[in-house]
Structure 1
């Protein structure tokens, strides 16, 4: 048996101890710190540009008081019922959802930006068969109450009863449309009309266009002042009232039916004990009786509107005059 005399070589290799891998806990901690700092600076920035009323609204928004119901996806802005406008001012706005009321065929978001200029427009309204209202002058209490019920039906169709109040007053029918913490008629500090308020005016246009009563429109703001002096609440309330008149006329109100448009600023608050309340930002439309119209004409130095003469009454008076007995002395009778 052969014996292998070759030497056996044994190699020893030095084993390197593997270093322990670093964990990612510090990355998570740093990300949390960065997010917290960003949130802190965001809150400080909002508090700096917001007044006390807007801060209260923000707190309500963060507490969930302004959400209607159901779950909300915070990353889906299209389904968010409200959002914060970061254009220099904090404003809580409802999502743009066109109303389903009557009005022009294209009623919807930002419709007033496409209203054509001019006195007449063939697309205004949807025709005379919108309701059973008989055109004419509304004067008596029962007539005004009937017209108020018709207006209330239109308001229910556009789901804005929480923002509208209707009252029958001695001067006519007072239609008051105001803001609340859920819905704004205009963007804060501007005359940019919100779609749902526009749809309301477009829905009221065909109805109010049927009546012969004159209409007075007034704009009102809250007591929040402007920083500058060139543009104040007077200009803002006037611009909003003029835009409301324009949309009403586009919806069907006759051009010469609006007799007065005024901007009242914050001089006549609706909530007297809180001049900064949201309800003080409002548009008031007053369907005037003939007596109230005469008073406005007299204040403006205009002649009173001549009363309409019923032709049938005139004919009856003439017939009664002709039937009067004549005297036997012709020289005492003079034909007129």
Structure 2
């Protein structure tokens, strides 16, 4: 008698799957690692940056260097004082860019109203002449115009990353030449003789100058005079051309800052009238 066939039973045990934990922690960890890399990169850059560069970066991002109005303060308007009173500035941040009203009041206190108005009109004419040349818009921070006791100063100043002359050269960049050629017609229409003075920054400790600073600044001042003369200014309009080396820094506490390298064109005040019967 055959035995009955019994069915084969296969028992399968299903394991319960673990609950899904999500990947949010991975994103958070990646953000943390990225932030740490950025932090250590920043620390490395700071350690490799000179004090001069740190001052320049702070000056560039300082809100005080920005004008809240659209009058043009901080560009080809009023700025750092370049006369002797301005040399008392303690730091770039203290003396970098000021508003038109404050700069005019500081540089022209005690000046007759007629003389002040003449300087303001001359500054407006020069600013307009520069604004008409779009090729030099990027140099607006390099051009500082300010009334002083001697007259109206127009300074072409170096800035971090943008110089007006090649290093150790008396011949300016083409962009600087464009600025001077744009200035010439406005200066020709204004009364008064011109004084041109070259300045440079002090050498950093431990460095040796490739060019003697007195010759360098005098040569740059002469080059500016030649460009202005070639652009139509008569020779009898020039009163003096001089180089001051690094003897008159804009920032005495930081004499090696790039802004101390500059050429200043001064539209001199007119000679005061002499009393009757007195001859020069």
TM-score class, shorter:
0.5 to 0.7
Q: Does structure 1 retain, via aligned residues, the 8 Å contact 2:122–2:190?
A: no
The residue number in structure 2 matching 1:168 is 147
The residue number in structure 1 matching 2:106 is none
2:191 is aligned with 1:216: no
Q: Does structure 2 retain, via aligned residues, the 8 Å contact 1:215–1:259?
A: yes
Q: TM-score, normalised by structure 1?
A: 0.45
Structural RMSD (CA): 3.2
Runs of 5+ consecutive residues of structure 1 not aligned to the other structure: 1-51, 66-138, 295-303, 307-336
Please list the CA deviations of residues 47-95 of structure 1 after superposition, one character each: whole Å capped at 9, or x if unmatched: xxxxx689x59xx9xxxx9xxxxxxxxxxxxxxxxxxxxxxxxxxxxxx
> Shift in Å at residue 155 of structure 1?
2.7
The residue number in structure 2 matching 1:151 is 126
Q: Does structure 2 retain, via aligned residues, the 8 Å contact 1:237–1:265?
A: yes
> Shift in Å at residue 272 of structure 1?
1.9
> Shift in Å at residue 243 of structure 1?
0.1
Greater fraction of residues in helix? 2
Q: How does 1:1-336 map to 2 (within 5 A)?
A: 56=53, 140-156=115-131, 157=133, 158-159=136-137, 160-224=139-203, 227=208, 231-291=211-271
**4+ aligned runs moved over 6 Å, structure 1:** none
Runs of 5+ consecutive residues of structure 2 not aligned to the other structure: 1-49, 61-113
Ranked by relative contact order (alpha carbons within 8 Å, sequence separation 6 or more), the top structure is 2
> Shift in Å at residue 305 of structure 1?
9.0
Q: TM-score, normalised by structure 2?
A: 0.53
Q: Does structure 2 retain, via aligned residues, the 8 Å contact 1:219–1:264?
A: yes
